[in-house]
Structure 1
């Protein structure tokens, strides 16, 4: 009997620990709000980039100029395909989450199919509308590959971070489009003149301005999406406030820069034939391609670091000390505010706590004196040496 009770006593504390493991290991998936709007914006931006590239290639006429135009349009089309594939995959991932499909394998397959479908449609548009040629075929294949990679990236489990990266990437595109629209006034502001040196200096400052504005926009929009839309999504799903840590804001702010770096890698690998054909035309074209490639890498790195830094700083501004978050200020601060600085903590203690015998004796003297007066009306004593009320007093008075 003793051994059996001992075994049950030792095995009982181990049982309640097991249900807590799944709660921390696999948090529930949350659909990202506004994914359909982001997908429509990404599709619109990809269509605009494809139309712009078609206009440049078609207007060139000559084969050599068409190759150069295709090389110039290749990085923009690839980056737009990456963001569009991720946005379409995000919409399908939200649909699977609402349907209750949580397993990683079917979600990965759906993301892959979404990326392939987006890339196939983009490549079909390029092939049918851009014309024929090796450069056009390379452009179509690279666009399809970029959309497929974006679709796979859009199927990650943390849908809120993916949606924040897509939103921040669209903000980077919008800032770049706005600055390119006002490119001539900005270049004139930086001192662009007739000489090649002044034009090169103005172009460098224009690139730095574009990177600075794009990084700030990426970090602020990523932070705003995770702060507002993330909280709303988790409250609707689990009735709790989201507990996104600083790595989520860091990745979301750096996401557009990572997308630009991935686009540059695809441009130099899958689209290397187009760049080679464009650089083989002349020495000036080769130098221009090298200058543009270095500028794109610097732009991507600046957007990456500045976007992540902006998102982290914005997240740090929202943090509060532990005392303010709990709502219970410490005790010594209240004492200082009341003006009792430097006072002894024992001064504020009641006299009853310092000398409990005095307070205990006071309430017993008066009732005992009244008891003696009620029992012995003719007694002249003051009540200091009276008998307790519980004892019989005829013994003392019989002696007198």
Structure 2
């Protein structure tokens, strides 16, 4: 009997474990995750803004793990690739015959001075809750401080997470103003971005609509403005300073630090994988999700790391392990996006849907599409009845 170890209980890891189990290869399957729960990473911005609670986007991993999958709750320290062992923080090393590495992402500071110390990232449940608590405490403080910097929020980066967070923030701000008794008209929200535009993954008309929507809600965009340092309460771009007592860091992510600790050849802790998602020289290792870098055969550029592509990678890796066990050749990973949806609060957004041609949506209809997308992702990962019972 072979041992198949899956690292990480995120979109990629949980889906891979489920698919390997469903193939009924009758091997030992172990899923290792540092938390007892899976969280919907695409909804962290809602927890950070306070429109959802952590319990709304989490479910217990053990309760939804497929029959026959052992679950170990521990933190991976590194992988001994020569000895085929996963070294853990609290328990004895776990040996494997096949490894599916889906350890996910961490915040990327790009070496910018003060970014780690003086800003709030959104990369997991704990950081999202910390950002929400800081925001609400700072806004509430204005009633006694009368310091307008308490009402000033600076969001670093204008990527997907940034824009969705801004959408939730402007939606909730009137309720926060009423709750904490601060003047809504004095709130200042700034978004600082090094690129010359936002949401490049959308066609220009939709990206402009999203920008204008947020501008009308009070967001000030500063594009072509690279961040050079962050001081306490200040975001610096060369000779420009943007002040605010809440600084949110959403400029980008990198793969898990376990990648560098384990000696993988990588850039930003993402490893370029082969066509079947294995690592060169290690056919027993599959890297999927945020720790992998997969070139698009048509453009040559790397695919973006999204839940959609992570689930597709998990399906491919699971199928290839089953093929190997059966003495059959593995298949190449292929991917066709079904579209992109960006929410701007619970009841608005923009979307490009790639089904039977391209549909372009904006406004209220996107809220419904986004909810359907989130629900569909959950169905891809776990048994719905078990998931609901775990909440």
TM-score range, shorter chain: under 0.3
Q: TM-score, normalised by structure 2?
A: 0.22
- Larger fraction in strand: 2
- Larger fraction in helix: 1
Give the greater-gyration-radius structure (CA): 1
